[in-house]
Structure 1
Amino acid sequence: MLQTSHRPADDADIATVGRGRSELAFGPWREAISAEFVPLEAALRSSASALGFVGELRSRTLGSIQLSEVSGGAVVVSRTPGMIRRSDPGLIKLGMQVQGRSIVRQSGHEAVLTPGDFAIYDTARPYRVEFTGSCAMFVVMFPRAELRSREQDLASAVARSINGEQGIGGVLSPFLYGLRRSLADEGFRDSPMLESAVFDLVSAVLEVGSPADHEHSGEVLLASAKAFIEAHLSNIDLNTRMIAENHHISPRYLQRLFEGDGATVAGWIRRRRLEKCRKDLADARMAHLSIGAICSRHGLADSSHFSKIFKEEFGVPPREYRNDTLRSEAAAIEIKVRT
């Protein structure tokens, strides 16, 4: 049974996540992880035996995101420079420890993970993940191009242990557990909103840089506040006081943090809501939704006011933006098909 010390164990939930798995010997397990993720090398630790190894792998996709849970014994998994030269799909992996202990190494950094902790690593750089014994890890993998982060933010944040109970980790951890439960939920369906939430929350983690070095700094609080906003944009009551109370700081201090970043809390909320709406308006999968439905799903209840501020922000009314964008996308697809 999988357990975590950072979250009260729900026996029924945990049993459901494990349902339907098949046990694999070391050889098939090694082939399966290389096929399911990116090309990888896997070797038993010196103290482990292939005869007693039992591994499992369960995966599903949500749009452009792959969710997996991998478990096994004492092994070392590596992505080498040669493998990267032969195949680099440009993916980011976030690994959350579910059971046991692992060590993630990349770019000179080392993250020691115990249940509830997680780390980010990049398939375009060599890395090594060592499972010290019987363990399980939940992995979220998605395209690097979806992140809003700078390259230096990613380079600083890879293979850094992020505590699932504190700071930015405390915001993202419940979301990861929710994604993990979807592995066993056949009725769970992906949506552009869910994908966007994953990308935004991971981007917020990367903005922190090295959370282990300054867990309680203003930079971490600011990134955590932004992640909280991303996760609650649909709440029409989202405001400065709610965010401040969640982080146990005063509204005035929260406002100063945002002002130091060249924004206000309300201005940031408005900008992110508008960006979410713009992304949905440009998405052909959302074409069946009215403009009013799109703005309300991101916390903007007044569609006429939304049209006004959208035009102020992007220079065109939302309906015109949607029509022009979808028409251009359809034309591009038609040209590609013809050629």
Structure 2
Amino acid sequence: MRGTEYACGETTARGRACSSIGGIAVSGNEDVSILRFSSNDIPEAERVTTLRDFYCRGVVKAELEIREGEPIMASLTAHSLPNAQLLLGTLFGAKLVRTRQLVVDGDDSLAFVFNRSGTIGVTGRGRDLLLGPGEAVLASAEDATTFERFVAGDCFSMRVPRRVLAPIIMDVDDAVMRVIKDRRAEISVLVDYATSLVREHASATPALRELGAGHLHDLLALVLGPNDEARESAGRRGAKAARLRKAKGLIANNCWRQDLSVAAVAQELGVTPRYLQRLFEADGKTFSSFLIDQRLKRAHRMLREPEFADRPVSSIAYDVGFGDLSYFNRRFRRAYGATPSDVRSAAD
């Protein structure tokens, strides 16, 4: 193996729209950035350099040790939020090493690493751990640590400053470098919520970014074992936010179904219909208004896409879940200030 150290620069892309830097796809807005790396998109001769740059920009200051004779396979997305840095995907064919020389950089963040599939080896604090599918660990940037994937698979990691977690975890240091096996339900909620933030680009405003990061902190605290006061508040904020986001995802993906109801979605989430209605009300909407908005958005997209140009407006209204054409027309005009025919004509 050979190791190479590199110096890290900015971890965000302030004010940057979608672009590409050295093979890394970058999209950013103010204090949030999304970086993507795929070995399939980069010539093999450039993969090592580009991957090091990716980690430098969006993950952590570390060395990469490349396995001689083995190609690097990686598909990674890094997402930065206030006091929360997410990494999704897989890296195979290289070891990530935070050496003792690098520990002096003053980074005291804590990294929660969850292995979705395959096998990951983690060393640190004199321990050699092996994470199987569904297992996780908390590592500290203050320790010399290595991460290496032995069997191909996907993982999720989240880095948070120590000062954020210390007040809400019973004993942060005791949680470091211990395999977490018995919190799968809590981990699932955390990972699903974090993944949805990345995939849905749910960071449009500073307020939303702060809110999303706060929910992530609460959910991570529930995984690691919060103190009594934090457990109560985290349970209220984080779990509710995660359920609401999952409910919205279910509605968005199934809004075309005319039989979609609050009872059906509540059953899928394992909560009562009234509880689900209250979640939406606390978010400033009702279940019905959110469902109608999703149907209207789908209709608006279809009216602008050439592949649906020959389909009658009435057919599109029915396809997205409306059973009454006049009601669809009224709601559409109220939402977009134009008739469906106007929108279709403007797209030509």
Q: Which amino acid aligns with 1:26?
A: V
Alpha-carbon displacement from aligned partner over 1:86-134 (angstroms, at most 9, x marks no partner): x123212111213321022221334322333221111122111121133
Whole-angstrom distance in 2 between the partners of 1:231 and 1:59: 22
Q: Which structure carries more relative contact order (alpha carbon 8 Å, separation 6+)?
A: 1
- 5 Å matches for 1:327-338? none
Equivalent pair of 1:149/1:206 in contact (CA under 8 Å):
no
Give the drift of 1:175: 2.1
Counterparts of residues 123-272 of structure 1 (less than 5 Å): 123-149=141-167, 153-163=171-181, 166=182, 168-189=183-204, 190-207=208-225, 228-232=235-239
The alignment-based identity, stated in percent, is 17
Answer whether contact 1:56 1:71 (CA < 8 A) is retained.
Answer: yes
Q: Does 1:82 align with 2:101?
A: yes
Is there any run of 5+ residues in structure 1 with no aligned partner, and where? 1-18, 210-218, 236-295, 298-339
Distance 1:58 1:149 in 2: 29
| Mapped contact 1:68–1:140 kept (Cα < 8 A) | yes
Task: State the match for 1:7 in structure 2.
Answer: none
104-113 or 148-157, larger mean C-alpha shift: 148-157
Q: How many residues align?
A: 203
Mapped to 2, the partners of 1:110 and 1:205 lie a distance apart of 22
Unaligned runs of 5+ in 2: 1-34, 243-281, 284-348
Confirm or deny: 8 A CA contact 1:26 1:54 kept in the other structure: no
Instruction: Tell me: CA distance 1:152–1:105, structure 2 relative to 1, closer, same or farther (3 Å).
Output: farther
1:199–1:104 CA distance, 2 compared to 1 (3 A): same
Contact map agreement 2:216 2:238 (CA 8 A) in 1: no
Find the structure with the greater CA-based Rg: 2
1:58–1:124 distance in 2 versus 1, CA, 3 Å: same
Say which SS state the counterpart of residue 212 (structure 2) adopts: helix
Native 8 Å contact 2:87 2:158 kept in 1? yes
Which amino acid in the other structure matches residue 173 of structure 1? S
Q: What value does the CA root-mean-square deviation take over the aligned residues? A: 3.7
Residue 56 of structure 1 is aligned with which of 75, 91, 96? 75
TM-score (norm 2): 0.49
Tell me the alpha carbon deviations over residues 283-316 of structure 1, each in whole angstroms, 9 at most, x when there is no partner: xxxxxxxxxxxxx67xxxxxxxxxxxxxxxxxxx
Structure 2 residue aligned with 1:22: 38
Q: Distance in 2 between matches of 1:177 and 1:150?
A: 22
Aligned to 1:306: none
